[in-house]
Amino acid sequence: MKTNNDLKDLFEGLDFDIAEPSSSHEDRFREKLRQRPQKKKPQHNGVINMWVPVMAIAASFLVAVLIFQGVFTYPFSQEQKLANVSPEMKQTQDFYSSVIRTELAAIQEQKSPETEAVINDALAQLEILEKDYEKLEKDLGESGQDQRVIFAMITNFQKRIDLLKMVVEKVNEINTLNNNSHENNTI
């Protein structure tokens, strides 16, 4: 209980000013505020005042242009290559791209008037798959490397290779039939 007594002694020894100000105190205070000299604002040249809004509009326009061009959206790039996901995906993309180039070269070597329709049809279908792949690249950028999109990209590669292998087989079949029919003809 000694602590309570010490606190009482401390507060009893202090002289708190609890008197209320006089009724005219507020009026005197307001009068002193009115008599106080006002600070003058520095006056700027009218040309500077005119350029401030123009510069603000120009800066806003510049920011809008940069955003639309994608400068600020680098982490959220709209298109991303499969090779950028990981070293393994780079190897996968390189492998599939190599196989596709090889198959295309094989098809182009065997192009003839008899196989032209089949090859042209295959190239049209290959173009459709390529456009689908470009859409998947955009999806990969938007999804943040979603595994489903990566799987769809790999499946797209596989579909293109399967299509090209099927065309190579069909072209070989056509060429074999043509060779057999020419062998049976005797002069």
Q: Is residue 23 part of a domain?
A: no
pLDDT of residue 45: 58
Each residue's pLDDT expressed in tens, for the chain with a length of 187 residues: 566 677 777 767 666 667 777 878 888 888 888 887 776 665 555 556 677 777 778 777 777 766 766 544 444 444 567 777 778 888 888 888 888 888 888 888 888 888 888 888 988 999 999 999 889 888 888 877 788 888 888 899 899 989 989 988 898 888 888 777 655 555 5
Q: Is residue 68 part of a domain?
A: no
Residue 141 Cα to chain centre, angstroms: 6
pLDDT of residue 125: 92
pLDDT of residue 71: 46
Domains in the chain, number: 1
Q: How far apart are the C-alpha atoms of 125 and 163, rounded to whole Å?
A: 8
Q: Is residue 165 part of a domain?
A: yes
pLDDT of residue 13: 67
Cα dihedral sign for 25, 31, 33, 36?
negative
pTM of the model: 0.53
Q: How far apart are the C-alpha atoms of 72 and 114, rounded to whole Å?
A: 53
Q: Is residue 37 part of a domain?
A: no
Domain of residue 129 covers 77-182
- The set of residues, in sequence order, having a beta carbon less than 8 Å from that of 154 and lying 6+ positions away, is 82, 92, 96
Q: Is residue 152 part of a domain?
A: yes
Q: Is residue 50 part of a domain?
A: no
pLDDT of residue 56: 77
pLDDT of residue 35: 85
Q: Is residue 171 part of a domain?
A: yes
pLDDT of residue 68: 65
pLDDT of residue 2: 61
pLDDT of residue 77: 44
Q: Is residue 30 part of a domain?
A: no
Residue with tokens 């600020």: 72
